[in-house]
Amino acid sequence: MRLESLRLCGYRNLQEVQFTPHVGVNIVFGDNAQGKTNLIEAIWMLTGAKSFRPGRERDLIQKGAAQARVEGAFFAQDRHQTAAITLGDKRGVQLNGVEKKSASALAGSFCCVVFSPAHLSIVKDGPQLRRRFLDGAICQIRPQFITALYQYRQALAQKNALIKDLYKNAELYDLLAVFDEKLCQLGVRVYQMRRRYFAALSNWAGQIYSGLSGGRETLTLCYDSVFSGDEQALDAPQLQQLYSQRLQEAKKDDLRAGYSTVGVHRDDLRFLIGGLDCRLYGSQGQQRSVALALKLAEGYLLREFIGETPVMLLDDVMSELDPSRQNYILNHLEDAQVFITCCDRAPIEQLLTGRAFYMKSGHLEPCGSEED
């Protein structure tokens, strides 16, 4: 999968941008606040997803302009295709010239994986962000996971509401067992799908991290859930039985806390480098490398599903990384079209194959680069 050309009009500070990227690595460099992330975001919009940055849709339209337009030509599913999105006045979406109802109709046509500095929070912050990352990645390739997760969350919300009600209506106590049974089934389904994805993710992330660190460090991923390591191999009925047991054991705590304290809604991931938890002990560069390895691993797993490598959008990925790690990103992400933003031109010197662009005040121009 690759972006062949991009044209932007009135998109954030990018008044008029037209460019033809390289099939391999594209470096976009420039000072702060010149429009590099805006460019990455505009490419991402062609996937049909919402922006990876917070804000409203109208924030994407250049201040003072009536509309923003993103037009892309890309090669995917063995053919040349086009997608266009107009925001603001006369909003519209076209895929291969055919009018679509909304941008979500573009989903699955042009696929990207994005790394932005905000993704560092997967490594640095609370478990919720790690679950969101894991769940988001699984949803892309297993639509049935969306249903399972939704049903689990619904059942959990109902059980939590019941726990709160029990203070006033103790006679509802027996109803808890009904919700617990549902939660056992749905929880095990969520667990098994997460677990399967996790196994593949940890394999890829480990390999990528090893490449990033030049083989000097080892990344191991751990998945903490309701079940311990040796219980993971059990089949679904056995897992449900155990799950049920764990819910029983937690009942007193649940009633005291006023919510369900045990279940897959508390799952977490840990990232160990040389056996030490990267969240607590990792250096800035190690934490960034782990977040990047996870995102790239997500991209390679998506490749297994869609049969081609998604475009990798790496925003501000170079800072805090030493030259050998930068070199890995620039020259070893085989078979992927990559867009990398950075503030200085130093990485261009290391780029073996690709193209570099200079972003200044929302204008993009090609600059000295090496071609294959």
Token pair in block for residue 312:
């990798």
Residue 116 touches Mg ion, criterion: CB under 5 A = no
Beta carbons of 44 and 52 less than 8 angstroms apart: yes
- Map tokens 């304290």 to a residue: 261
Buried b (16+ CB within 10 A) or exposed e, 308-337: bbbbbbbbbbbebbeeebbbbbbeebeebb
Helix, strand or coil for residue 60? helix
Q: How far is the CB of 329 from ligand ATP (least distance, A)?
A: 17
Q: Annotated binding residues for ATP, as ranges? A: 30-37
Residue list 310-339, contact with ligand ATP (CB under 6 A) = 316
Residues with Cβ within 8 Å of 325's Cβ and at least 6 positions away in sequence, in order, are 212, 213, 214, 285, 289
- Give the integer Cα–Cα distance in Å for 187 and 365: 52
Binding partner of 140, given ligand ATP, Mg ion, none, CB within 5-8 angstroms per partner class: none
- The residue (of 37 and 62) whose beta carbon lies closer to Mg ion is 37
In the DSSP assignment, the letter for residue 61 is B
Kindly identify the residues of this chain, within the stretch 49-88, that bind ligand ATP according to CB under 6 A. Answer: 59, 61-63
| DSSP 3-state of 131 | helix
Paired strand residues for 86: 69, 92
CB of 43 to ligand ATP, least distance (A): 12
37 binds Mg ion (CB under 5 A): yes
Asked if residue 342 lies in contact with residue 318, where contact means CB atoms within 8 angstroms, the answer is yes
Q: Is 12 in the site for ligand ATP (CB under 6 A)?
A: yes
Q: Write down how long the chain is.
A: 372
Contact partner, 71, from Mg ion, ligand ATP, none, Cβ < 5-8 Å per class: none
In the region spanning residues 336 to 365, those forming contacts with ligand ATP, defined by CB under 6 A, are 343
> Residue 62's binding partner, choosing from Mg ion, ligand ATP, none, with beta-carbon cut-off 5 to 8 A by kind?
ligand ATP
61 vs 340 by CB, closer to ligand ATP: 61
> Of 13 and 160, which has the nearer Cβ to ligand ATP?
13
Interface residues for ligand ATP in 18-47 (CB under 6 A)? 30, 32-38
Shortest distance (Å) from residue 31 CB to Mg ion: 10
Give the number of other CB atoms < 10 A from CB of residue 50: 13
Nearer to ligand ATP, 109 or 326 (CB): 326
* Residues engaged in binding Mg ion (CB under 5 A): 37
* Residues engaged in binding ligand ATP (CB under 6 A): 12-13, 30, 32-38, 59, 61-63, 316, 343
